[in-house]
Amino acid sequence: MIIDISENKDVLNIIQNALIEDIGSGDHSSLSSIDEHRKAKAVLIFKESGVVAGLNIAIKILKINDPDCIINVFKSDGDSVNLMDIGFEVEGNARALLRSERLLLNIMQRLSGIATITKRVSNKINHYHTKVLDTRKTTPNLRILEKWAVTVGGGYNHRIGLYDMIMLKDNHVDVAGGIIKAIQLAKDYLTKNNLNLGIEIETRNLEEVKQALTMLPIQRIMFDNFSPELTQKAVELVDGKCETESSGGITIENIEDYAKTGVDFISLGMLTHSVKSLDISFKIKLT
């Protein structure tokens, strides 16, 4: 089931701030050339195939700019679409439609692009138990939207930020003085501060995996830039004693090789940091 986040407080703040950023002192292009009472129709058209994400947010933007607009919706978030499919038709104030156009397209194009690539990746390994995760490689202040789009495409969220999980990466390990020291310090910190957070440790070789296993219980061991063959050996070493995750150097072409190892999770920064936006248009016609 796709969660509708268009009424989420943080999402509404994103919309309001984006409208302020774009409109500023006024949409002078429309104010100067279009009568304030002029009505118009517009249609949202998908110019390539993909997965819809952000449609309810687009509708929210339209309603904020023109509460009286009438919208006929033909697609939903999570739907697959093809070339020239129509997402919705809207009739309302012409100036309001033009104020909405760029923001709703910016959001829908990016989120649909994220959902589309996530679906492609997830479909490659959907017959394995391995789950596809996103990362923190997101656009600043848009993380809630981008991570939601990953779930629309069938992926799962890793930690949301620095606050909801302890993730000890190579830099933490090196500064702390090694795998064992870093994990012990993290456990002491959680006890001292009465926090209930999972601990994940990043490992760079099988020796570090073995060291991490001496510090159980921990939630998850990550295999960073392991080959599929090395990942298989690491999964066998862990033997279900905690969760496992692969990250680094994984692409849509080789992801199945990693899923075959039995690793629990595969995290991919590409889902959000270098995604291609889906081509969508918003065509306005006078009534």
The whole model's pTM is what?
0.96
The pLDDT value recorded for residue 287 is 73
The pLDDT value recorded for residue 211 is 98
The pLDDT value recorded for residue 1 is 83
The pLDDT value recorded for residue 285 is 83
What stretches in the chain show pLDDT beneath 70? none
So which residues are the catalytic ones? 102, 137, 169, 202, 224
Could you tell me the two tokens for 208? 């570090």
The pLDDT value recorded for residue 286 is 75
Please measure the distance between the N-terminal and C-terminal CA atoms of the chain and give it in whole angstroms. 37
C-alpha dihedral, 206 to 209 to 210 to 212, nearest 10°:
160
Cα 66 from Cα 84, distance rounded (Å): 26
By the 10 Å C-beta count (0-12 exposed, 13-18 middle, 19+ buried), 124 is classed as middle
The pLDDT value recorded for residue 144 is 98
Could you tell me the two tokens for 139? 């656009």
Find out whether 92 and 39 touch, Cβ atoms under 8 Å: yes
Assign domain 123-273 to its CATH architecture: Alpha-Beta Barrel (3.20)
The pLDDT value recorded for residue 175 is 98
Kindly provide the residue ranges of all beta strands, DSSP E only, lying in 48-139, ordered along the sequence. 50-51, 70-73, 80-81, 86-93, 131-133
- From the list 101, 107, 105, the residue with the least C-alpha distance to 14 is 107
59-99 per-position pLDDT tens digit: 999 999 999 999 999 999 999 999 999 999 999 999 999 99
Contacts of 25 by beta carbon, 8 Å cutoff, 6+ apart: none
Extents of the domains making up the chain:
9-116+276-286, 123-273
Cα 145 from Cα 61, distance rounded (Å): 14
Find out whether 146 and 45 touch, Cβ atoms under 8 Å: no
Cα 92 from Cα 53, distance rounded (Å): 23
The pLDDT value recorded for residue 29 is 94
Using the structure block, give the residue that is written with the tokens 């100067």: 32
- From the list 6, 109, 90, the residue with the least C-alpha distance to 51 is 109
DSSP secondary structure letters along 159-196: -SSSSSSEEE-HHHHHHHTSHHHHHHHHHHHHHHTT--
The pLDDT value recorded for residue 9 is 97
Task: State which amino acid sits at residue 183.
Answer: I
Contacts of 278 by beta carbon, 8 Å cutoff, 6+ apart: 46, 48, 50, 108, 109, 112, 113, 116
9-116+276-286 sits in which CATH class?
A: alpha beta
DSSP secondary structure letters along 104-120: HHHHHHHHHHHHHHHHH
